Amino acid sequence: MSNFRTFRAPDTRSALAMVKAALGADAIILATKEVDNGLFRAKEIEVTAGLPEVPSMPRVSAAKAYAAPVLLPAPKAEAPAPAPAPRRAESSDELQGLRASMEEMRSELRRMGSQVRMERELQLPPPAAELLSLLINRGVEDALAEACVRQALEQSSNLSRSTLLSAVRNALSQRVIAGTAPWISEGGRRRIVALVGPTGVGKTTSVAKIAARALMGSKQKVAMITVDTYRIGASEQLTRYGEIMNVPTFVARDRVELTRAIERCGNAELILVDSAGRSMNEAVARQAEMLRSVEGISLCLTVSACTGPREMAAAAERYRSLAPEQLLFTKVDEASGPGSLLSASVRIGRPIVAVSDGQRVPEDIHALSGADLVELVLGERRAAQTAGAR
């Protein structure tokens, strides 16, 4: 190994950039560790790297630094070599830390490669290419991400990353609209809200969360109805929630039963309707016809944030014919890139009233501001700590 060097930087990305600048793309990453600089200085990442000494030997680039090692045949020996002394096993925490560090470096190298391609193919300045890569990695559709970055470039004469990031935030805020949460009282006026959306996104649990929040927060009188008679156990699940919260709960199989159930809700200020998931356009249309037969009902399209951008766009197109008044996104805590919510937002064009990020009832549902929704897309979410009181 020649030109053996050690680099220190505040983070992995900066350390890799230093390695690449000093040694080139063929550098081999030999070791990486976190360095504790004491009480008054921030921790650093230390990377040890070098270049292969013999060109004919197999070389591993920085992008493949942590691939499986090449095993060379052992030299022949007349007598078997003595068994090596057993090494002390590393602790599970150390191994997990090493794996996490390796995966972080692989991810960073992939991101850097993607950014270089964007700079070349889309002819973007480096800060713009970096932000485009960030948006796509966060789950935003390629076309939407590029549109936001192009808009930011048009609106900003300064090409610094901070200036462009501010302009990208502005572009996102124009596409993501925050709305009033279903559990917030509207002056005693009765509201009927039906949650519609694909199968398995968590509509039933979301209905229970909204009901509990309305009961505990604004002390409203709440009733629940399920029209999901297709999924086994759906009505039983909502009924159990109703029993726990002491909330009247009804099952309706058709338009007539739905009308009667609403009449039986008495003086409830908030009536929440749980619907069955649908994947076929004809089934979606039939369900919409039944729900829209209720005067004053509003539909809340409920979609999982784990849904990929293409699938999210397809779901939004499928349910756009229902003309939902609201959007709710579930499973935010399970989504590696919740930026796909932008696909539904731009196609439906209606406000996002809440996001759900867990199974707890009612803690894990939040009404977010427009700024918080933008940060959720960008991956700098602050809302989890502050939105619960809204």
Domain that holds residue 368: 191-389
Pair 166, 125 in one domain:
yes
Within 8 A by CB and 6+ apart from 209, the residues are 356, 361, 362, 364, 365
Pair 22, 157 in one domain:
no
**Model confidence over 180-191: pLDDT tens digits?**
888 887 767 889
Does 214 have pLDDT greater than 50?
yes
In a domain, 94, yes or no: no
Pair 379, 277 in one domain:
yes
The CATH number of the domain where 222 resides is what? 3.40.50.300
Pair 344, 216 in one domain:
yes
**Model confidence over 228-275: pLDDT tens digits?**
876 656 678 888 999 999 999 999 988 899 999 999 998 899 999 998
In a domain, 289, yes or no: yes
pLDDT number for residue 70: 39
Which residue is associated with the tokens 């020649």?
2
Q: Which amino acid is at 118?
A: M
Give the domain-ending residue among 173, 201, 233: 173
Task: Please say whether the beta carbons of 224 and 247 come within 8 A.
Answer: yes
**Model confidence over 314-353: pLDDT tens digits?**
889 888 888 899 999 999 998 888 899 999 999 999 999 9
CB atoms within 10 A of CB 254: 11
Pair 167, 252 in one domain:
no
In a domain, 73, yes or no: no
- CA separation, residue 316 to residues 119, 136, 217, 322 (Å): 31, 19, 31, 10
Pair 264, 120 in one domain:
no
Closest CA to 63 of 116, 105, 98: 105
| φ, ψ at 208 (rounded to 5°) | -65, -40
pLDDT number for residue 64: 41
DSSP symbols for 16-70: HHHHHHHH-TT-EEEEEEEE---TTS--EEEEEEEE-S-TTS----GGGTTSPPP
Q: How many structural domains compose the chain? A: 3
In a domain, 85, yes or no: no
pTM, entire model = 0.66
Pair 225, 357 in one domain:
yes
Pair 213, 316 in one domain:
yes
pLDDT number for residue 117: 54
CB atoms within 10 A of CB 142: 12
- CA separation, residue 113 to residues 31, 135, 146, 212 (Å): 21, 15, 17, 47
Q: Which amino acid is at 329?
A: F
Does 40 have pLDDT greater than 80?
no
**Model confidence over 61-114: pLDDT tens digits?**
443 433 334 343 444 445 555 555 544 444 566 666 666 666 566 555 555 555
Pair 167, 200 in one domain:
no
Pair 169, 247 in one domain:
no
Query: How far, in Å, CA of 351 to CA of 360, rounded?
Result: 24
In a domain, 90, yes or no: no
In a domain, 119, yes or no: yes
> pLDDT-derived band of residue 213, with 50, 70 and 90 as boundaries?
very high
In a domain, 261, yes or no: yes
Pair 233, 363 in one domain:
yes
